[in-house]
């Protein structure tokens, strides 16, 4: 797959982000849950990157895939697997290097699927490294995608590993429910996925998060898997970062849900 950056604005900062994507993608190439960088061509205003082919494309805004212009919902087992694999990739960024790397832009559109439906996280251009031994850094600008952004980071410009945990929580809700991060409710009013899920949980109606398309052939065990995953996602989105789990614990919990629920 070829990745070309828009040449609309060639600013120093954008150039730096593109080179960051190259450097970090190269460092992640040995990890199964990152899109593998094969090479790049420097004969353009921005480098053109060559990645491994991801036969099934990338996740759309509802955590499904689009095939020949038609949206296709993924089976529950695959959604869980994708959630677990993206959590594993983020935990690797947070733990594998002397300096913690914060991804900063977790969303479905950055997750590719190869021929075996293995999830591959891509686009590390917004990532930021913390100083060694430090748990936070003040960012010059708030980067990320509206709806997935941690409100704490938005308010303080402080980036921590919990910035990714929050975004992942929203991502997991989108993938598990098959709903967009913002959608129109039954009464015609716009809803945010987090407020919607939280409302169902507080009213004891958590099973309603399962989209009607999936409800037809869902087993009791699968219903429990959805509910456990969504509860974990809510914990990731707690207001105080102290109340959120670390990504490694999220990945382990998703693995447990996948095999034991």
pLDDT, one tens digit per residue, over 136-183 is 999 988 999 999 999 999 999 999 999 999 999 999 999 999 999 999
**Beta-strand runs (E) in the chain:** 2-3, 37-41, 48-51, 65-67, 70-72, 101-102, 111-113, 119-121, 128-129, 137-138, 158-159, 182-184, 190-192
pLDDT score for 16: 86
Pick the residue with more confidence: 86 or 10?
Answer: 86
Asked if residue 200 belongs to a domain, the reply is yes
Domain of residue 230, CATH code: 1.10.510.10
pLDDT score for 69: 80
The shares of helix, strand and coil residues in the chain, as percent rounded to the nearest 5, are 45, 15, 40
User: What are the pLDDT digits (tens) for 129-140?
Assistant: 999 989 999 998
Instruction: Give the chain's mean pLDDT.
Output: 92
Sign, CA dihedral 116-125-79-246, equals positive
Its domain, for residue 198, covers: 55-260
User: What are the pLDDT digits (tens) for 87-130?
Assistant: 999 999 999 999 999 999 999 999 999 999 999 999 999 999 99
pTM of the model: 0.94
CA dist list (Å): 60 to 47, 72, 208 = 25, 10, 22
Asked if residue 33 belongs to a domain, the reply is no
Dmax over CA atoms of the chain, in Å, equals: 58
Pick the residue with more confidence: 188 or 59?
Answer: 59
Number of folded domains in the chain? 1
Asked if residue 118 belongs to a domain, the reply is yes
Q: CA 80: distance to chain centroid? A: 13
- Does the annotation count 105 as an active-site position? yes
Sign, CA dihedral 146-52-11-141, equals positive
Asked if residue 39 belongs to a domain, the reply is no
User: What are the pLDDT digits (tens) for 215-258?
Assistant: 777 888 999 999 999 999 999 999 999 999 999 999 999 999 99
Percent residues over pLDDT 90 in the chain: 72
Asked if residue 100 belongs to a domain, the reply is yes
Catalytic, out of 105, 123, 150, 164: 105
Pick the residue with more confidence: 112 or 205?
Answer: 112
Asked if residue 234 belongs to a domain, the reply is yes
Asked if residue 163 belongs to a domain, the reply is yes
Asked if residue 101 belongs to a domain, the reply is yes
Confidence of residue 70 (pLDDT cuts 50, 70, 90): confident
């Amino acid at each position: 797959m070829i990745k070309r950056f828009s040449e609309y604005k060639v600013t120093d900062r954008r150039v730096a982000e593109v080179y960051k994507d190259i450097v970090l993608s190269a460092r992640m190439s040995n990890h199964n849950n990152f899109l593998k960088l094969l090479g790049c061509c420097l004969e353009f205003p921005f480098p053109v990157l060559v990645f491994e082919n991801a036969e099934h494309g990338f996740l759309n805004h509802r955590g499904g895939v689009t095939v020949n212009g038609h949206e296709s919902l993924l089976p529950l087992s695959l959604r869980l697997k994708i959630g677990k694999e993206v959590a594993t990739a983020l935990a690797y960024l947070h733990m594998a290097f002397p300096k913690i790397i914060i991804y900063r832009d977790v969303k479905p559109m950055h997750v590719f699927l190869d021929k075996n439906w293995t999830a591959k996280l891509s686009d590390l251009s917004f990532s930021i490294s913390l100083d060694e031994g430090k748990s936070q850094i003040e960012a010059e600008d708030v980067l990320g995608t509206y709806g997935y952004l941690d409100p704490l980071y938005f308010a303080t410009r402080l980036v921590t590993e919990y910035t990714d945990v929050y975004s992942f929580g929203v991502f997991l809700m989108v993938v598990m429910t098959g709903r967009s991060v913002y959608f129109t409710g039954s009464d015609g009013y716009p809803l945010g996925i987090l407020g919607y899920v939280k409302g169902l949980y507080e009213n004891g109606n958590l099973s309603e998060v399962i989209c009607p398309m999936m409800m037809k052939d869902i087993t009791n065990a699968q219903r429990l898997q959805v509910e456990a995953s969504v509860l974990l996602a809510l914990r990731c989105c707690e207001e105080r970062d102290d109340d959120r789990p670390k990504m490694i614990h999220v990945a382990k919990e998703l693995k447990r849900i996948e095999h034991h629920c």
